[in-house]
Amino acid sequence: MKQGATTIWENYISYKEDGSPVMTSLNHYAFGCVDDWMFRKISGIDMAAPGFKKIVIAPETDEAFTSAKRTYMSEYGKVRTEWSVEEGKFELKVEIPCNTTATVKMPDGRLYEVGSGTYEFECKKFIE
């Protein structure tokens, strides 16, 4: 950020001491794909139709994470997920924007079809 980055760079040392650039990518997808994985797998937000007209909410849980939350401003409005695991109970809060629908997939295999609004779900059984 101090060097003016607005994307993820290939190398954190992308300028020489004299200020001239080193031959590296200043918009490097190899690191961006990590964010894509975090977006779709950890937070569970995925597109089922162009522009997020239809949404899939399906966080993938494991022991590495006990909670996550994320907000995405789609063409239709805010898509938000927030989940936590405590004492074997998975709790999920979702916000679905107006004029869209979502399929919510819980870790225990249950599916919910919802319209716009704010919802809370929970389950005790995990699929690992």
Specify burial of residue 82 (Cβ count, 10 A radius: 0-12, 13-18, 19+): middle
pTM: 0.75
pLDDT (0 to 100) of residue 12: 60
Residues 31-72 have pLDDT tens digits of 667 778 888 899 999 999 999 999 999 999 888 889 999 999
- Domains, in order of start, for the chain: 1-42 (no CATH), 43-123 (2.60.420.10)
What's the pLDDT tens digit per position in 2-36? 666 666 666 666 677 787 767 666 666 666 677 78
Task: For the chain, count helices (H), then strands (E).
Answer: 1, 8
* Token pair listed for 30: 């190899």
Sheet order of strands, 111-114 included: 45-47, 54-57, 101-105, 111-114
The CA radius of gyration of the chain, in Å to the nearest whole number, is 18
